Each structure stands twice: as C-alpha cells, then as structure tokens.
Structure 1
Amino acid sequence: VSTEMYNLEHQLRELQLIRCSLLPGEAFSFVLSPEDTAIWSSLLDALDNGVDGEIEMPAKGTSLCSARFSVRTPGSPVWFEAQVPEGPLQCSDVLVRGENISRYQQEHWQSIVSQSTAEVRDSEFPIYELFSLHLLPRLHEYDGDKHSPTSAGTPSEIHAHRPEIFHALLTSHHLVSVTKRKLMKGWSSDLHITGFAKVGYPGLIYAEGEKENVEEFVKNVKAMNWLALRVRFIEQVAAPAQTANAGDEWMEVQKISEVLELMRKKGRESCVTNHGIGSSSST
C-alpha cells in the first residue's frame, strides 16, 4: 500500500469515527466545493459500507483536496471547523466559528481549543478525540447553561431564592491598558456584571452582580499586574434599588464627576465619597 493510499485510508477512518460518534442533533458537514464534497462523501460511503478494498484514489488528473468539515450542535451560535490530518500522529488546526459572538467569546473558545489540542496531540486520531472528548461536551455544557432557566418554581419560591446581590469598588494608580479594559468588559459579559471603569488617572472599577460572580470578577482583576490596586470594599448591597434593566451593561467613563453621577442614580453616591473619591457637591 502506497503512503498516499495509507494516509487517505487513515483520514477516512478518522472522519468515520467523528461521524459515528455524533449525538442526535449534532450535524457534520464538509466545508468544501460541491465537487470536492461529492468525492469525499463517496469515499466515506464506501468505507461505511464495508468495502475497504474498493476505496480508490481519484482518477488521474483529479486532485484530492484536504478534507475540511464542520460540526454543529442544535441552536448553538458557536461551532467548530477543522481539517482532517493527512497522516497518523498529526493534528491540524481547529477554528472557532460563530454567529453574533463577541471577540472575547471567540478568543475564549479558541483558547479552549488550544488547551484541548495539547491533550490529544499524541493520539492516533487526534481530531476525533478533540471533538468527542473535549469540544462537543464543552459546547453542550455551554449551551445548557445559556438556555436553561435560572430558576424554577412558583413566583414566591423564585423570590425566596433570589440570589444575593453584591457590589465592589476597586481603585488603582491608573487604568490605561487597552488589554485590561477589554478583559474586564469580557468578564462583565460572561459573569453578568454591571458597572463601570473610570479610565485614566486614577483608575476606578465598580462592579455589581450576584455574590459569586462579583467575587470571581474581583479575583480576575486582582490577578492582573497593577500599580497600587486597592479593593475598597466587596459587600452585599444593602437595598438593591431595582432589578438590572436590559440597557444596563459595562461601560467606561473618563471623569470623577461621571462616576458620581452614575452612583447618584443608584442612590449610592456615598459608596465612593466615603472613600475620598470626589465629593457629594461635585457636578
């Protein structure tokens, strides 16, 4: 058996494993031209039908392109696209695709792909293991968290189990780094945090959300390199003024007066003025 034929059979075996491992609703499709899709589909069908001896290379003059494919899960805005390695013990790049996903989400999933790829790199069928053992389970978990109701029961039960709302205030010598600002915006989205960052000198960060999420947000912020970062407080909101509106989100401001105005609207101006930031008479 020629090396070329051996590699082709190995690619087909990996494609077969991937297709056979899919759960109901998961969709496999080639990302190729109609002509190339027809060639790869016929080769794969021959293998599926148990006619290994009938698998043949395309006729001379017909080039066989690399097999690119995608796998999607039902209703997910994120899916993966990959190229089947051309031989054993090889691992090709896997790309994250999506509809209306943020750049942070794209980078988050690409990081998961990179970490998972390192774990399967020495496998005989690395792309198969990457999809079946790592990426698709993580994607189902992500979709489940996204679409599951946050609580169940009667309105009184929901009210009784309403999560604790916390807020936190952090200050630093300055906040200029574009990287830090992008990371905080991404974390605020993932952790459902509302609040703001006052950029420039000094730097100021205010976050509000569920207790565990605020604590995680503060932990992430502290893990970055800062000059004179101080956590002024992280505590339960005594009396949440209102449920977060659809328009509430993470934002950036440039001036202390803007900070005071935002906190005044929340009825919490003293939360910053008591720490020597601005004054209640500032405008």
Structure 2
Amino acid sequence: MEDVLREEIELIQSSLLPTETLTRGLDNFVVRSTTSELSIHVNLCDYPKTVNVEVKGEKDGREESEMWRGWVRERMKEWDMTQEYPLYQFCTTHFLPLLSQSSPLTSPTCHLDTSNTCTTGQTDVPNVDLTPHHSLLISHHLLSSTKRKHLISLSSQLSLVGFSKTGHPGIMYATGSKEDVTEWVREVKSWNWLALRVRVSVEPIPVSPGDSNAEQEESPQLQRDLEDEQEKLSSNNRGDAIQETQRLKGAKDGARGGKGRGEWTEVEKIGDAIEWMRVRGREKMLWDVGVGTGAVK
C-alpha cells in the first residue's frame, strides 16, 4: 500500500504549478503556494479508505475556519477509493484549484454561495479557439512508468481527454483546445523517445462524417460528442465564479488555473485502443496509420 500511496503523491507533485510546493510528513502532506494565503493539509492515516483534509488560510478567523470545514465535509462525500488513483483525482479535482492565483474563489463563502455575490469583476470569456482539436502520436514503445505518470498529469494540467496504449507500439491520442493540444504535443516530443512520430498533427476534429460506413451511421452521435467536447472547452475557459462553483459541485471538472482535470485512459491492447476510438467514430485514424485489423495494406 505504501508503494501505491507513494505513486499517488508523485502524481500530485507532478501536477503542481511552479508556485506550489508539497511537503510530506510521516503520514501527511501539505501543499502551499507562494501566490495564495491558503494551504491544503492532508492526513493519510486512514488511506485508502478515506483521508482527512483541511483548508487553512493565514488570516482566517474562527468563522472562516468553520465554513471551510463544512465545505470540506461536502467534498469528502465524493471520495471514491475504487478509483485507480483516488487521492490524486480527489486532490486535483477539488483542492489544488484553490491555490491557483487565477481562481476567483478565495474564500469558503464563494464555494458555498451560488448567487452572484462572489463574482470578481472580470467575467468575459477569453477570446480563444474553442473548436475541439486532436493529435495522434505513435512511438516504438511506451513502457516507462515515469512517462505514463507524466501523461496522466499532463492531461490534468491541460484539460485533455484521451488515451495512451502501453507496450509495443506506444499510442497516444489527445483531444482538447488547439492551444492545449499543441502544448501537449510539444511537451511529449521533448521527452526521450525511440522513434516517436506525429501521425496526425494538431487539427480540428472533423464535424462531418468520415468516409467509412460506420462513421456515417454514427454521425448523429459524432455530432453530439463534438458538441459535448466543445461545451467542455467553453466551460473550462469561463472565468466567472458561478460557473466555477457549479463545476466544483459537479465533481467532474477539476481545475488548474481554470482548466479541468481532463480524462485520461490507459489501455494495454491494440483492440482496446481501437474500441476507444470506435466509440467516438474515429477508429479509421488508427487504421490509416497501420494500426489494427482494419489497417490499409
């Protein structure tokens, strides 16, 4: 169990922003930021069954401290020890976003109040391209546990949805905003690889059905999937506190500087990778680059 816990803490450390630090004790750790008065204190005595989390502010009085405790109690209802990385998912979804300098939520009242009283002035949606983009990378292999951890943490930092297929060959596919997918490709390419190739460069996910009959038959679902992806990108870039509070309550979107935690899946077999793409009507992408039984000879 200690090895699993160590791995979770390494994942959390890899997802920290440059202004944030994690200090570990015997059965606890604390995350602080130079840009926030808040600190996150996590007691691990009962891990993985549960954890004890405290949010502390340098200038919090008794009332603020009690409100934070109430807020934490609500979040603790969502602890799920059956997840692959429960501590990592829990902390990056609910607690690390509190330390972000760009987060408009700096007090427990903002998290508990769904009215307009917690807005912070600037609520305009940034002028960014919200069209869903994607990219496909293939390497000779993907075996390194370090690289696999980095792919998970990178998806959290950049709010990406995608998967990686381990073993031979290594396959990595990511979707998100153009800016985030471009950064993902740049970062992954900077790692030490054997024969890494960008098989599909950063480009918009096609809205119209592809050439295959399967894609044509699934075109209504494809359209819904694309709309869902675009909505996720849009909501991840809204800066107002009301949207932020709703997302926190939804327990689906974490945030690092306003971004979601992403949804990254790791598979071991080529068939699983094909299935992941097939559900989204994109299996032909893998076939076109020689992966899978439907590959062009």
Q: Which TM-score applies when normalising by structure 1? A: 0.47
User: For the pair shown, which has the larger CA radius of gyration, 1 or 2?
Assistant: 1
Q: Which has the higher contact order (CA 8 A, sep 6+)?
A: 2
